[in-house]
């Protein structure tokens, strides 16, 4: 029996032998004293890559998002973000608990424009309204199927946010995918924002870690919040070495994951009962709906598991499939075949 093809997430990857070797060889020190040379090198490298003054390591993308909220807002504030953003749906209510903010979800398909932002910002001058103080964009947008937010839209809404006195935050956990898919450097994608978060543990294949980048003063504030949340680590160079290795070896190959997602998307789009707009398959994620009459998401997930293909139910009739470093073309083709057979049955 073949090993299962695990398409649940790009976070399921295991460090390669070469990555483990880089981790084992990492120079380390106490990062709470700023003495971990490998973490310092990663922070400098990412600040440069993202076109920002400074950067700070964080253990997870969730903590990066939570720290960003605590730096850029005050309790009771309101945040405007794309519908079904990670911060509102996948962080266990952390935005409310950790930052004390409420998130207004707008737009569709991971994207919203200036009109939607304007409509969502609460009027000022009446004390009953919460102050809307932050615009957040998720790029690529996970639950919308890994779509890349068009940069012209990003620039328009960020300009408008600034005019209206809002700060701006980019949840770029998969910014690397957005850069490869759009052909634009990460620094250009990050330029319109006050703070930018990126992850190393998704498509890049590192075992953990994220980072916030921005102006020195905001990164100093983020460091304090990170310490308060218990996210400051010690010999973190072991993780940072994996991230540096991934930046060198696993960034350009994301195009292969995107090609694999396309293969899966094209196979699925032709299946009875599947609702999938192939225009949403832009990177390494495929999110599709199951029409009435087709099996529901839990049933498809269970049947696929029996056939050695692991996928995720994102809703009663919504399924997500994600490609990554640990799945080869032959496995992708096998998974596509299994899903087609199950959906045709």
Ligand X SMILES: Cc1ncc(COP(=O)(O)O)c(C=O)c1O
Contacts with ligand X by CB under 6 A lie at 60-62, 65, 86, 138, 142, 171, 173, 199, 201, 210
Instruction: Kindly state the helix (H) or strand (E) to which residue 115 belongs, with its residue range.
Output: helix 114-120
Least Å from the CB of residue 146 to ligand X:
9
Other C-beta atoms closer than 10 Å to the C-beta of 1 total: 4
CB of 65 to ligand X, least distance (A): 6
Shorter beta-carbon distance to ligand X: residue 57 or 336 = 57
Residues 62, 66, 72, 75, Cα dihedral to 10°: 150
Q: Which tokens belong to 317? A: 């009739």
Order of strands across the sheet with 78-82? 54-58, 210-214, 195-199, 167-172, 132-138, 78-82, 102-106
CB 318, min distance to ligand X, A: 15
Nearest-angstrom CA–CA distance, 138 and 135: 10
Task: Please say which residue, 65 or 168, places its beta carbon nearer to ligand X.
Answer: 65
Using CB positions, name the residue nearest to ligand X: 61
* Neighbour count for residue 207 (Cβ, 10 Å): 18
**Shorter beta-carbon distance to ligand X: residue 138 or 186:** 138
- Measured from the CB atom, is 87 or 121 closer to ligand X? 87
Tell me how far, at minimum, the Cβ of 122 lies from ligand X, in Å: 25
Of 184, 209, 213, which Cα lies nearest the Cα of 196? 213
Q: Which is nearer to ligand X, 52 or 283 (CB)?
A: 283
Of 60 and 151, the one with the shorter C-beta distance to ligand X is 60
Whole-number minimum distance, CB 60 to ligand X, in Å? 3
Least Å from the CB of residue 335 to ligand X:
20
Closest Cα to residue 224, out of 233, 232, 216?
232
Closest CA to 174 of 89, 61, 332: 61
């Amino acid at each position: 029996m073949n090993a299962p093809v695990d398409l649940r997430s790009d976070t399921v990857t295991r460090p390669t032998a070469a990555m483990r070797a880089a981790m084992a060889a990492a120079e380390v020190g106490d990062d709470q004293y700023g003495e971990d040379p490998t973490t310092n090198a990663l922070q400098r490298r990412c600040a440069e890559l993202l076109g920002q003054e400074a950067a700070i390591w964080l253990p997870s993308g969730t903590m990066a998002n939570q720290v960003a909220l605590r730096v850029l807002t005050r309790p009771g504030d309101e945040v405007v973000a794309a519908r079904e953003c990670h911060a509102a749906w996948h962080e266990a209510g952390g935005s409310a608990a950790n930052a004390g903010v409420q998130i207004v979800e707008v737009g569709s398909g991971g994207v919203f424009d200036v009109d939607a932002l304007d409509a969502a910002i609460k009027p000022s001058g009446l004390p009953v309204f919460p102050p809307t103080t932050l615009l957040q964009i998720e790029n690529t947008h996970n639950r919308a199927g890994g779509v890349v937010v068009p940069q012209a839209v990003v620039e328009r809404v960020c300009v408008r946010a600034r005019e209206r006195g809002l700060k701006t935050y980019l949840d770029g956990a998969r910014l690397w995918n957005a850069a490869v898919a759009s052909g634009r450097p990460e620094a250009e994608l990050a330029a319109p924002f006050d703070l930018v978060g990126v992850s190393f543990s998704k498509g890049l294949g590192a075992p953990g870690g994220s980072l916030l980048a921005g102006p020195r003063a905001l990164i100093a504030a983020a460091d304090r919040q990170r310490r308060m949340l218990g996210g400051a680590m010690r010999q973190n160079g072991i993780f940072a070495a994996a991230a540096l290795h991934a930046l060198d070896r696993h960034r350009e190959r994301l195009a292969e994951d995107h090609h694999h997602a396309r293969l899966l998307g094209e196979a699925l789009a032709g299946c009875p009962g599947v609702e999938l707009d192939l225009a949403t398959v832009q990177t390494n994620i495929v999110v599709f709906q199951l029409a009435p009459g087709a099996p529901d998401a839990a049933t498809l997930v269970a049947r696929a598991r029996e056939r050695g293909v692991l996928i995720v139910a994102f809703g009663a009739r919504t399924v997500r499939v994600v490609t990554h470093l640990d799945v080869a073309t032959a496995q992708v083709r096998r998974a596509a075949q299994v899903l087609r057979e199950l959906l045709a049955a």
